[in-house]
Structure 1
Amino acid sequence: MYVDNIRLINFRNYMNLKLKLHKKVNIFIGKNAQGKTNLLESIYVCSSGKSFRTNVDRDMINFKKNQSYIGAKVIGEHLDKTIEIKIDRNKPKRIKVNKLEIERNKELYGGLNVVVFSPEDLRIIKDGPSERRDFIDREISQIKPMYRYNLNKYNKILFQRNNLLKNMRMNEKNKHLVDIFNIQMAKIGSKIIIERAKFIEKISRSSKRIHKNVTRGEENLSLKYKTNVVDSFNDILYIENLFIKKLENNIKDDILKGTTKIGPHRDDIDIFINNVYSKTYASQGQQRTAILSIKLAEVDIIKEEKNDYPVLLLDDVLSELDKDRRKFLVHAFKDLQTIITSTDIIDIKEFDPLNKKIFHIDNGEIL
């Protein structure tokens, strides 16, 4: 799978761009704040309907304009799609695939699979559980579109249950309604837990192998899924029943706090390097290498699930990697389209053997 060409109108600092991409390696060089990340963002939006940088669509519109447009031609082994996205400051976003308008972002999933690696991804290790949940939710949604549907449904039920809990502080007559929400949460939540457990098991296994190669066998990387619902993930009915029991047992505390303490909305991932908790004890270099291994493991998983490689987006990460790790990436790139941004051409000298195209970016203009 690869992006053949892209068209941007009034997107961030791109006023009118038509760009033909190479099937393999594309390298964009420019100083900071010239539009390198904006270009990667536009490709990512075509894969999910959302940005990896903002939750507000209108932030992607050029500040002098009221509308923006992204168009991309995507080609795969059994795929030929044109994805078009129009963003308006005062109207809902519109998405078309091969000229047919789609109603929901989730209908985009599978049309273009991408994996993005940027310096901000260190937050997966450094920040709190919500950052790690967002990470696994984004990646599972690419390969399992139904997962995003279940996640949205679960969050709506959770919101309704929490509102009910707050009202029950003064009036506990609505206990029967809580029971209904418990059943609904457990039914949908158990599906989310199962998918997360499967995904983390796969990415842990793959990233462990990659990390050993990247570090020449010196480090062992492992990921562990943490949920307060259950310890075993083999039987969905068992998870569902235990989920309901825990919600029932915790009801007094939930009413007191006005929030739901049990469920996948409290999940987390522990990331270990040589059996040591990476968030607390790993150096920044070790953390960066761990995230690199996890991102490359995503590539493997998408290839396994979709029988086609995703597009790999590397946003200004080369300068943070040593020569050996850059050489490792060269080997990893040979089978997939990769789009790289860098501030310095020196960072890319290891890529000389690759089939590639080099672009220069200056204030939203590509030379």
Structure 2
Amino acid sequence: MFVRHLSLVDFRSYPSAEIPLGPGVTTLIGLNGQGKTNVAEAIGYLATLSSHRVSTDQPLVRFGASQAIVRAMVVRDERETLIEVEVNPGRSNRARVNRAPVARPREVLGNVRSVLFAPEDLALVKGDPAARRRFIDDLLVQRQPRWSGVRADYDRILKQRSALLKSAAPVLRRGRGGSRGGRRPEGESQEEARANALHTLDVWDGHLAALGAQLLYARLRLLRDLRGHLREAYETVSGGAGEATVTYRASVTESVAAAIAAG
């Protein structure tokens, strides 16, 4: 697979750009600040629908523009596919495959596959565990795009559960007076409100556990599959001096996570 042509509209520093590419090595040469990294970032965005440099889409849109477009002609098995993503900060992004709209942008995942190494990747070893989990999840999505949906559902439920905890916190606290803290339907006692909040929390906990177990199982399986490749790659660069391995410190084993995920 390779990108034959990349088109940018209002992406980062580019009002517009048409960049012909091809199989093999392509080297971008220029002064600092001319946008070389922006090109690599654009290709990576098509592969993951996220940036390795920022956590939101707003910085990807050129100052003064309302949206950005990243478009690439991808060749795979001698077959060409046109992938396009419209970046709309504050609104829903849109995507097309061969100029036909798709229902959700994540449906384009898997068409472009990239491996990116950047200075920001030092966060994998220097940063907190969230950066490492995010890296593994990005790799999961590139390998099997269906994990994008599981990941999105997990994030959505986590936010909803957090919102419930915040709004129901006064009700869930013991020892508070009946009328103090937390809104509840008229005629509902403090104990009834607390019981309802706990029941709702149990429901969210169940959904979160099931989706979290699916992600955990997938991460563990991915790292298991990568161990052999990692060992071979390290032997190549080290000349056989030592051995490299990777371990995921999980609270449960892969088999337990698989059982929870299966319900």
CA–CA separation in structure 1 for the residues paired with 2:14 and 2:50: 18
CA–CA separation in structure 1 for the residues paired with 2:236 and 2:130: 29
SS in structure 2 of the partner of residue 170 of structure 1: helix
User: Is 2:181 the partner of 1:180?
Assistant: no
Residue equivalent to 1:352: none
Residue equivalent to 2:49: 49
Residue equivalent to 1:339: none
User: Is 2:39 the partner of 1:39?
Assistant: yes
Q: Give the stretch that moved more between structures: 88-97 or 44-53.
A: 88-97
The match for 1:202 among 215, 220, 225 is 225
Residue equivalent to 1:10: 10
Report deviation, 1:190: 1.7
CA–CA separation in structure 1 for the residues paired with 2:211 and 2:47: 25
Deviation digits for residues 37-94 of structure 1 (CA, Å, limit 9, x no counterpart): 0011111122233222223323122214334322210001064211122334675332
Q: Give the stretch that moved more between structures: 55-64 or 141-150.
A: 55-64
Are the equivalent residues in 2 in contact too, given 1:9–1:69 (CA < 8 A)?
A: yes
Greater Rg, structure 1 or structure 2?
2
CA–CA separation in structure 2 for the residues paired with 1:68 and 1:158: 29
Q: Which has the higher contact order (CA 8 A, sep 6+)?
A: 1
SS in structure 2 of the partner of residue 40 of structure 1: helix
Residue equivalent to 1:265: none
Report deviation, 1:101: 1.1
**What is the one-letter code of the residue matched to 1:83?**
I
CA–CA separation in structure 2 for the residues paired with 1:139 and 1:124: 13
Report deviation, 1:96: 1.1
Report deviation, 1:98: 0.4
Q: Give the stretch that moved more between structures: 105-114 or 57-66.
A: 57-66
CA–CA separation in structure 1 for the residues paired with 2:135 and 2:86: 26
**TM-score, length basis structure 1:** 0.60
**TM-score, length basis structure 2:** 0.82
Report deviation, 1:124: 0.4
**What is the one-letter code of the residue matched to 2:221?**
K
The percentage of aligned residue pairs carrying the same residue is 28
CA–CA separation in structure 2 for the residues paired with 1:217 and 1:89: 48
Is the strand fraction higher in 1 or 2?
A: 1
Q: Give the stretch that moved more between structures: 119-128 or 149-158.
A: 149-158
Report deviation, 1:226: 1.5
Residue equivalent to 1:164: 164
Cα 1:102–1:222 shift into 2, 3 Å: same
**What is the one-letter code of the residue matched to 2:255?**
N
Report deviation, 1:162: 3.1
Instruction: Please give the residue correspondences for 1:248-287 in structure 2 after superposition, counting only pairs within 5 Å.
Output: none
Are the equivalent residues in 2 in contact too, given 1:48–1:108 (CA < 8 A)?
A: no
Report deviation, 1:32: 1.7
CA–CA separation in structure 1 for the residues paired with 2:154 and 2:89: 29
Q: Give the stretch that moved more between structures: 77-86 or 197-206.
A: 77-86
User: Is 2:220 the partner of 1:219?
Assistant: no
Cα 1:93–1:214 shift into 2, 3 Å: same
RMSD: 2.3
Cα 1:157–1:46 shift into 2, 3 Å: closer
Report deviation, 1:238: 3.9
